[in-house]
């Protein structure tokens, strides 16, 4: 059935993005709350996110989402007032409610009612609140069904003439003397979600104390109409500084004043604090609305917004834009990089000709510097923290572990590490496969761990970090490790390798068998794994983005999967090499070192070229033979080998010359050319020539490694 919401096309992306953010907060915080039930700030965070989603859904007229979030909020209000205890069944029903909210969110996109009955879960949430008398501002004790809940949402819970004692909040003391503050805010007139900003102001003040009066009212805000000015009077035991810190965290506000003292103006917080008038004087002054006067410029000091005492997350001054615009901007920067490289070549030719035109040199140098800065800024815009990829795993691990009867703690480190948005999208599925594999295969059941002398609770650790211009992701567990002998036997049984081949494999090579398509050592097929697919897909997807994966494992102690990735797919730092008359680009992320070889340094073993590197045999590949390049007639005194690595395997790529490092803009080969073994894509050089970008993993396959 078609359903209509009171939301414009411009407002839709904002609603969806903020809804996703708060749904993720609910997921993460509820799982933490299961283990840290005494953390009052965490309880406040969960309650606030549910309250925000309720307000957002109410403003667009999404009645079913409003009803469900109201029921969830009521239960969470009981938790924060210690009238409802945090238990596993409570967390389960709250997480189920979050899942329902995600389905209801999709209705806003499709404008179609989904096949979901929320009455049962609303009643289940109400069951936790039965017999609990709550004084929450948002509780409607007479509601039974979703429709009844919605009716109570627009009631004015704080009539202007009704006074009540301020409730005790975190950081406050009921024995402290309360103060009255008059708040006024001007919302950015260009904001496409001004009602949402007003709602955030209202929420911050509700957290801080008791709202005595407010303009516009909550009912007016929830109609989602435009809001330019917001004012309120609150009674609170919190200090002026705490109120200021909470309000200045909200973005999209042009100006905020407390008792006519400007605390925020054009994005700059004002540190000057004039002595607070006595409560009686403040109440008299509140009756007359005065025009705020900016303090002298000398009193205006810019500061970073401090963390709010009410637990609100820090929000930078940000904008949301279409991803396609970022891609187009990146393409334009790519063209500029190509022109910069061309100018560098012209610069070099002029220098060799002993030209003394310093102005040309200065202009080329300046343009190169500006291009580098522009490229860096655009790359920063495209960067996202890996928390956007890691965020789903706490809930996923909890649900999977509970389903198969395991106890697993998930630890996430380095979630602030940034990578290109496109790279995060590409690495998403491989990470899911690895996490599922660790939960299902890696970590043992509580009984097995107990018999092995381990803690019954297993540990799964996700880590992200930057290292030498690359991103390193690790998935590590303290499970039973990987049995190389078992992998060899499974590969033989499935006909993937012969017994002779298996006998010649080292332990490291045996472990690498797990990445062969169709190989699985699972004793039974489940909906988590055991169908012979997964790790081969992981390896393929990682290789497609010029990354690599390595495995470290010890029987009985656990396993670690380490993924090495470039920072971005758009611009690739590469080593340019010459092979006969052609130029190739080898991604630097794959290179470990370069060698200069004399013809006598190259030997043949089983008719394949090899050389010795620090006492070990290094297999070699002649790129001229792989790509059938035109033979050169000139005699070369030296050859060069570029050593590249895949996992723990290394090979040397024999080339004629090393031309130097260069940032190349990646261009797809296109459907007309199609896939070429050993080549991943192309790049246009500064002189207009095309350089082919080498697919290192494809070369490993061509070499039979």
For residue 264, the tally of other CB atoms under 10 A from its CB is 21
Cα 465 from chain centroid (whole Å): 13
Q: Which of 129, 158, 437, 541 is catalytic?
A: 437
DSSP one-letter string for 412-458: EE-TT-EEEHHHHHHHHHHHHHHHHHIIIIISPPHHHHHHTT--SEE
Helix (H) or strand (E) holding 198: helix 194-208
Catalytic annotation on 467? no
* Dihedral angle sign, alpha carbons of residues 696, 698, 699, 701: positive
- Find, among 401, 406, 439, the residue nearest to 530 by Cα: 439
What DSSP letter does each residue of 602-641 carry, written as one string?
A: -EEETTEEEEEETTEEEEEEEHHHHTTPPPP-S--S-EEE
Q: Give the separation between CA 191 and CA 250, rounded to whole angstroms.
A: 13
Distance CA 650, CA 620 (A): 9
Report DSSP letters for 127-175, one per residue. Answer: HHHTT-----TT--TT--SHHHHHHTTTS-SS-TT---PPPP-TT--TT
- Active-site option among 11, 22, 62, 73: 73
Q: How many residues does the chain have?
A: 705
d(CA 220, CA 227): 9
Nearest of 18, 64, 25, 24 to residue 44 by alpha carbon = 25
Q: How many CB atoms lie within 10 A of CB 357?
A: 9
Q: What CA–CA distance (Å, rounded) separates 136 from 128?
A: 15
How would you classify the pairing of strands 639-646 and 649-655?
antiparallel
User: Active site includes 51?
Assistant: yes
Catalytic residue among 11, 22, 51, 539: 51
Question: Which residues are part of the catalytic machinery?
Answer: 51, 73, 437
């Amino acid at each position: 059935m078609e359903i209509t919401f009171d939301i414009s096309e411009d407002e839709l992306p904002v609603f969806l993005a903020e809804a996703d953010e708060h749904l993720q907060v609910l997921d993460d915080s509820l799982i933490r709350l299961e283990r840290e039930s005494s953390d009052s700030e965490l309880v406040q965070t969960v309650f606030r996110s549910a309250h925000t989603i309720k307000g957002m859904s109410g403003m667009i007229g999404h009645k079913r989402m409003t009803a469900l979030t109201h029921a969830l909020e009521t239960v969470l209000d009981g938790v924060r007032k210690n009238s409802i205890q945090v238990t596993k069944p409570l967390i389960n029903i709250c997480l189920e409610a979050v899942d329902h909210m995600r389905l209801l969110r999709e209705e806003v996109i499709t404008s179609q009612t989904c096949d979901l009955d929320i009455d049962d879960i609303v009643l289940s949430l109400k069951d936790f609140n039965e017999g609990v008398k709550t004084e929450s501002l948002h509780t409607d004790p007479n509601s039974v069904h979703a429709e009844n809940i919605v009716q109570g949402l627009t009631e004015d819970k704080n009539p202007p003439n009704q006074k009540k004692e301020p409730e005790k909040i975190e950081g406050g003391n009921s024995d402290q003397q309360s103060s009255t503050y008059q708040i006024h805010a001007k919302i950015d007139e260009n904001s496409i979600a001004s009602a949402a900003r007003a709602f955030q102001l209202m929420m911050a003040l509700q957290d801080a104390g008791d709202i005595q009066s407010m303009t516009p009212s909550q009912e007016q805000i929830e109609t989602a109409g435009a809001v330019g000015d917001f004012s309120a009077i609150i009674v609170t035991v919190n200090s002026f500084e705490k109120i200021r810190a909470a309000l200045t965290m909200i973005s999209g506000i042009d100006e905020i004043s407390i008792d006519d003292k400007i605390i925020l103006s054009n994005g700059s917080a004002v540190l000057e604090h004039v002595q607070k008038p006595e409560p009686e004087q403040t109440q008299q002054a509140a009756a007359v609305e005065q025009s705020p006067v900016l303090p002298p410029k000398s009193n205006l000091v810019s500061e970073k917004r401090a963390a709010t005492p009410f637990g609100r997350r820090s929000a930078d001054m940000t904008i949301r834009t279409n991803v396609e615009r970022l891609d187009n901007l990146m393409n334009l920067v790519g063209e500029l990089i190509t022109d910069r490289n061309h100018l560098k070549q012209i610069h070099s030719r002029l220098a060799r000709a002993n030209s003394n035109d310093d102005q040309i040199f200065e202009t080329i140098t300046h343009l190169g510097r500006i291009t580098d800065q522009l490229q860096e800024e655009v790359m920063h815009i495209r960067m996202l923290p890996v928390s956007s990829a890691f965020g789903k795993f706490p809930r996923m691990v909890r649900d999977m572990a509970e389903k198969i009867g395991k106890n697993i703690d998930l630890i996430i480190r380095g979630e602030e590490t940034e990578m290109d948005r496109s790279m995060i999208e590409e690495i998403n599925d491989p990470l899911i496969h690895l996490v599922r594999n660790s939960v299902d295969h890696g970590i043992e059941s509580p009984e097995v761990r107990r018999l092995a002398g381990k803690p019954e609770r297993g540990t799964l650790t996700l880590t992200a970090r930057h290292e030498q211009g690359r991103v390193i992701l690790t998935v590590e567990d303290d499970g039973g490790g990987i049995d190389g002998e078992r992998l060899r036997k499974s590969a033989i049984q499935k006909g993937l390798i012969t017994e002779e081949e298996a006998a010649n494999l080292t332990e490291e090579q045996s472990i690498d068998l797990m990445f062969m398509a169709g190989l699985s050592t699972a004793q039974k097929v489940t909906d988590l794994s055991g169908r012979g697919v997964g790790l081969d897909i992981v390896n393929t997807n990682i290789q497609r983005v010029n990354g690599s994966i390595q495995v470290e494992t010890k029987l009985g102690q656990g396993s670690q999967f380490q993924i090495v990735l470039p920072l971005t797919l758009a611009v690739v730092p590469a080593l340019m090499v010459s092979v006969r008359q052609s130029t190739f680009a080898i991604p630097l992320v794959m290179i470990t070192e370069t060698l200069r070889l004399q013809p006598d340094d190259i030997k043949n073993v089983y008719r394949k070229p090899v050389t010795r590197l620090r006492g070990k045999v290094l297999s070699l590949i002649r790129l001229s033979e792989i790509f059938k390049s035109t033979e050169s007639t000139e005699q070369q005194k030296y050859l060069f080998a570029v050593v590249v690595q895949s996992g723990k395997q290394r090979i040397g790529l024999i080339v004629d010359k090393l031309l130097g490092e260069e940032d190349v803009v990646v261009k797809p080969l296109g459907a007309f050319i199609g896939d070429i073994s050993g080549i991943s894509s192309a790049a246009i050089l500064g002189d207009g020539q095309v350089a082919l970008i080498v697919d290192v993993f494809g070369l490993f396959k061509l070499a039979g490694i």
